[in-house]
Each structure stands twice: as C-alpha cells, then as structure tokens.
Amino acid sequence: MRAARYTGEGRIEVGEAEPRTPAADEVTIRVAYNGICGTDLHIVQGHMDARVAMPAVIGHEMSGVVEQVGAEVTGLATGAPVTVMPLRWCGECASCLAGHQHICQRLDFVGIDSPGALQELWTVPASLVVPLPAGLSLQHAALVEPLAVAVHDVRRSRLREGETAVVIGGGPIGQLIAVVARATGAAVILAEPDAERRAFAAAQGATVVDPIAEDLAGIVEAQTAGAGADVVFEVAGTRGTALDATRHARTRGRVVFVAIHPEPVPVDLHRIFWRELEVLGARVYEREDFERAVALLAEDAVPADALITRVVQLDETQTAFDALLSAAAMKILVDVQGADEQGAER
C-alpha cells in the first residue's frame, strides 16, 4: 500500500508501506478521504517534532470502509462505512477515573502520537471505530472529526437557544462552531479579517465583522443592548485575540479558549474579576460529540460541500499542506485511494 509521511522540515513524502494485520480486537479500514487540520499544519511546521516520531504517518480527520476485522470484533462488518474517534486513553489515570477519558493524562492521540490515516489501509482498535449511516457521503464524513470538535466546544460552553455567541476566527473550526451554535438556536457574531471567510459565515446566517476595519466591541454591544455576549469562543489563536476575548462577554458570561496557543499569552484578569466571567478550556471531544456530529452531517445541517475547497490525490498531499499554510483554502481532503479523478474545486 501507499502512505504519506511527515519527514521533517516541512516535507511530506509519499511512498510504499506495509499494511498491518489486525489483532483480535482491531479493525483494518480502507481509508477513503482524509482532511488536513490545523494540528497537522503545526506538525508539518515542526512545532511538534519533540512529540512526533519521524517518519510519521499523520492524519485523523477521515472516512473509509471496513476492510478486515479481528477475530474478537463484533458489530462491525467488512464494507461498512466508518470513521474513527482517534483517542486512546489509559483508563487508569486521575482524569480517566474521574470520567474524563478524552483528556487522559497519558492520551494517545492517534495520528499524532501513533500512526494516522494518511495511508491506504489503517489498522486501529475496534473501540475507536464509529459507524456511519449508509446514505452519508464519505467526503462529507471526513468532516465528522472537526465537527465533533465544534460540537464539544459548544456543549462545553453551555450555549442555549436565544443566547448570543461571538466567534473570534473564521477558519474551519470557527465556521463549524458558528454552524453548531446556530443549530442550537443562538445568534452568532463571527469576527474574521478574510473577506471570503466572512462571506461564508454570512451565508450560514451569522453576523460578520471585519475586526480590523470595524469596531467588534461596539457591534456586540449594539446587538446585545449593551450587555455583551453570553459566550465568546476564541478560535483565532493570536495574542491579540486572546487578550480581546474577555472584552466581549456579558456579566457572568463564558469565554471558551478553543485555539491552541503554544506559548503563554496575556489575558485580561481584571475583566474576568470585574464581570465574574467563566473561562473554559475546550479540548478534543467525547463519543457523544462524535455521534452528534454524524447526525448533523446526515441531516444536512452542515454546509459540507461549501466547506470542502477541493479534493487532491495522495501524491499531492504536500501541495495541499502548502495551500493551507498560505491560507489559500478552507478545507482540503486527500483522496487516499485515488478514486476521485477530478481533484475538483468544491
């Protein structure tokens, strides 16, 4: 089979690899599509070289069909469409024992800490496999993992119908948070300097703001009768947006930090004190978030086709990373099997 491997210094190389026969409790999946996410970009930029063992097969936003099942696996059959929730936890640490297995203190994030989905045949524990409804497109199903991130972020925020949410950052996760928030019944204000990303959010019903040219704080106040937003999601991941996030929250509002900040950044502690704000971290997802994401995609509640900028072949994986690093696309899928001959813009 073929696999795409990160080999350091920004390079992705595609070559031959040996498939691994599934153990008794494992499943081998013929990977159809793999999406490239922000964490993958961090890896290729070298930010996670201390964590990733090179050459590394990365990738965790995927869809595919079951190729082979281990002798002890039940409930999964060859040919079934599936995705993978790529978290392996120890079950023994304090986080696991408290019921927070998704943030296990010894978490194996599959596709980062162990081999991922940018290979034609991927063998994983059966416990990680999430079945998909038969009618769901495998291209759309490659969005389940990032959508589950957004579902978890919104659930963690306790956002309710009738509330107002501010989303700072209109990349793929910010857009999906806005979609999930709208599906919850909230009003959404999305701040994003890129005009195309603002247009995308506006088409999904969000109020959009250019935070460089417009007064985001003034617009939030105007739309909330001076109160501020019930929830603010910081998804941009910059020092400025982290500092600014608390400014837009109402008294006893919630500020959710979604973006990965590799270095400590300033936060307005006086604002947190003065308005009795809650500051929440939101990391990855739980099984119920994955299942909710599958349901939202199956219900056509997510503009999947609009989110997918284009599909490329496995041999073009390096090109896809380069395009995303230059912010020239929203979401690019890698057609791992080479079934999509068009490589078409979407």
Q: Is 140 a catalytic residue?
A: no
Per-residue tens of pLDDT for the chain, all 346 residues: 999 999 999 999 999 999 999 999 999 999 999 999 999 999 999 999 999 999 999 999 999 999 999 999 999 999 999 999 999 999 999 999 999 999 999 999 999 999 999 999 999 999 999 999 999 999 999 999 999 999 999 999 999 999 999 999 999 999 999 999 999 999 999 999 999 999 999 999 999 999 999 999 999 999 999 999 999 999 999 999 999 999 999 999 999 999 999 899 999 999 999 999 999 999 999 999 999 999 999 999 999 999 999 999 999 999 999 999 887 789 999 999 986 443 333 3
pLDDT of residue 339: 61
pLDDT of residue 262: 83
For residue 62, what are the β-bridge partners?
A: 34
Q: How far is CA 312 from CA 307, 318, 334, in A?
A: 15, 10, 5
Closest-CA residue to 108 (of 72, 60, 54)? 60
- The catalytically annotated residue of 39, 207, 238, 319 is 39
Q: How far is CA 215 from CA 50, 192, 209, 221, 247, in A?
A: 40, 12, 8, 10, 12
Q: Is 161 helix (H, G, I), strand (E, B) or coil?
A: coil
pLDDT of residue 328: 74
Question: Following DSSP, what letter does each residue of 163-227 receive, concatenated?
Answer: -EEEEE--SHHHHHHHHHHHHHT-EEEEE-S-HHHHHHHHHTT-EEE-TTTS-HHHHHHHHTTTS
CA distance 130 to 289: 11
Report CA dihedral (239, 242, 244, 245) to the nearest 10 degrees. Answer: 170
Closest-CA residue to 188 (of 298, 253, 171, 176)? 176
- The catalytically annotated residue of 42, 47, 100, 207 is 42
Q: Is 21 a catalytic residue?
A: no
This prediction has a pTM of 0.95
